[in-house]
Amino acid sequence: VTSLAPDLERLLAEFDARRPAAVARMVSIVENHRPGFDVALGLLHGRMGRARRIGITGPPGAGKSSLTVHVARSYREAGLTVGIVAVDPTSPFTGGALLGDRIRMEAVALDSGVFIRSMATRGSLGGLASATREVADVLDAYGFDRILIETVGVGQSELEVARTADTTVVTLVPESGDAIQALKAGLMEIADIFVVNKADRPGADKLRMEIELMLGLRLGPVLRPVPGHHGVELQEFVNPAKVARAAATADAADQWTPPVVRTVAITGDGTDELIAAVDRHYTYLERSGELRQRRRRRLRERVVEVVQNRMQQRLWEDEGTNAWLETQLPAMEAGERSPFAVADTLLARSADVLSSGRPT
C-alpha cells in the first residue's frame, strides 16, 4: 500500500467536511485496526492536540458513568463539544445499565455535539490502552473540545488508559472501603483530581479526610518548626489533611496537589466544582510545562509501542525467519546453543526484514 485506498480517501474528505457519520466510521476503522488505519491516523496526526483529554477512573459502581453524563452536559451548556470513550461493558454507554441511567444517557446521546463510543474490553493490556488512545486521537482530530475517557475498574490496564489523558479523575465512594484500598491499587499516584462521589451517603467526609491525610503525608513533614522561647526550637504538629487542603487550594504555578471534590452524581451536585478543578489542573499543566511534557512522553511511548508491534509483525510473518529458527532447534536441543545466542543471531540477521516496511 503506497497510497491511500480510494474509500479511505473519500472517508477522510467526509471527515474533513465534519459529517457525523464519518467520525463514527473512522473510529471503527481505527478501533478495529482495519487495513489502512495507521495511514489514516498518520494523516490525522497534524490535526491532533487541541482537545483536552480527561480520564475518569475508579472502582465499578463508583458512579463514573453518571458523573461522565453530568460533566458532558455541563460542557455542552458551555458550548463545548464532547467525545466520550467508555471502556466498560456494564456502562450505560454500552447498554448494560439500569433504565434510569439509560434515560439520563439518551439526553446526552441524542445531541450532535456529543459523540459516544464504548469499547469492548480487550484481552491484551497494551491493546486496550492503545486502542482507547487511538480512538481519542480520532475524536481530537475531528475537533471535539473535550474528550472524556471512562474506564471500567482499577486494574493495571485502567491505570494505563488513565495515563493517556491530560487530567485523570479518580472516583471513590464511601462504601468502597477506605483510601488505603485506592493507595494499594496505585490510584493515588495517577490521580490529578479525587472525586468523593455518593456524598449523599454517610462516610463521604471521612473518606475525604482520609484522602487528604494521605496526600498531606506525601507532601512532607507534619512537624513544623516553631521558634520557641530562649532560642529553643519547638516542633508543632500539623494536621496532614490540612496541609493537603491548603496546598490543593493554593494557586502555585508549578505545583499541583490533587483537590478532593465531593459529588452526588445522581443529582449532578458538585459537577461545577469538578469542572472547575479540571480547568484549574489544565491551567497548571500549561503554565508548568507539564502538559508539553506529558504529551511528549505520550508521543515517545507511542513510537516505542508501534516499533514493538511492527518488529514483531515483520519478524514473525517472515517465512525466512521462521525457517531459520527451525534450523536452530537441534543445536539448542543438544545444549550447544542457548535461546539467547539464537535470539541475538536472529536479530543480527534480520535487518532487511525489519526495515522492509515503507516509511510513512
Ligand X SMILES: Nc1nc2c(ncn2[C@@H]2O[C@H](COP(=O)(O)OP(=O)(O)O)[C@@H](O)[C@H]2O)c(=O)[nH]1
Do residues 199 and 266 lie in contact, with contact meaning Cβ atoms separated by under 8 Å?
no
Q: Does 303 bind ligand X (CB under 6 A)?
A: no
Residue 358 per-residue DSSP state: P
Amino acid at 228: G
Q: Does 65 bind Mg ion (CB under 5 A)?
A: yes
137: partner contacted, choices ligand X, Mg ion, none (Cβ within 5-8 A by kind): none
Number of residues located near ligand X, criterion CB under 6 A: 18
H-type alpha helices, the chain: 6-16, 20-31, 37-44, 64-77, 99-109, 125-142, 156-163, 179-184, 187-190, 204-219, 240-249, 271-288, 290-316, 319-333, 339-348, 351-354
What's the closest the beta carbon of residue 96 comes to ligand X, in angstroms? 9
What's the closest the beta carbon of residue 262 comes to ligand X, in angstroms? 9
Length of the chain (residues):
360
Facing residues of 82 across strands? Answer: 114, 146
Q: Could you say which of 88, 140, 158, 166 contacts Mg ion (CB under 5 A)?
A: 88
Q: Does 176 bind Mg ion (CB under 5 A)?
A: no
Q: Does 171 bind Mg ion (CB under 5 A)?
A: no
273: partner contacted, choices Mg ion, ligand X, none (Cβ within 5-8 A by kind): none
Q: Does 132 bind ligand X (CB under 6 A)?
A: no
Q: Does 41 bind ligand X (CB under 6 A)?
A: no
Residue 230 per-residue DSSP state: G
End-to-end CA distance of the chain, in Å?
11
CA 310 to chain centre: 23
Mark 256-285 with x for binding to ligand X (rule: CB under 6 A) and - for no binding: --------xxx-------------------
Do residues 211 and 260 lie in contact, with contact meaning Cβ atoms separated by under 8 Å?
yes
What's the closest the beta carbon of residue 58 comes to ligand X, in angstroms? 6
Number of residues located near Mg ion, criterion CB under 5 A: 4
Q: Which residue is nearest to ligand X (CB)?
A: 63
CA 242 to chain centre: 29
198: partner contacted, choices ligand X, Mg ion, none (Cβ within 5-8 A by kind): ligand X
Which residue in this structure is represented by grid cell 472517508? Answer: 11
262: partner contacted, choices ligand X, Mg ion, none (Cβ within 5-8 A by kind): none
What's the closest the beta carbon of residue 66 comes to ligand X, in angstroms? 3
Q: Could you say which of 63, 83, 216, 258 contacts ligand X (CB under 6 A)?
A: 63
Name the nearest CA neighbour of 263 among 55, 60, 71.
71
Name the residues that contact Mg ion, by CB under 5 A.
64-65, 88, 91
Name the residues that contact ligand X, by CB under 6 A.
60-66, 91, 97-98, 101, 197-198, 200-201, 264-266
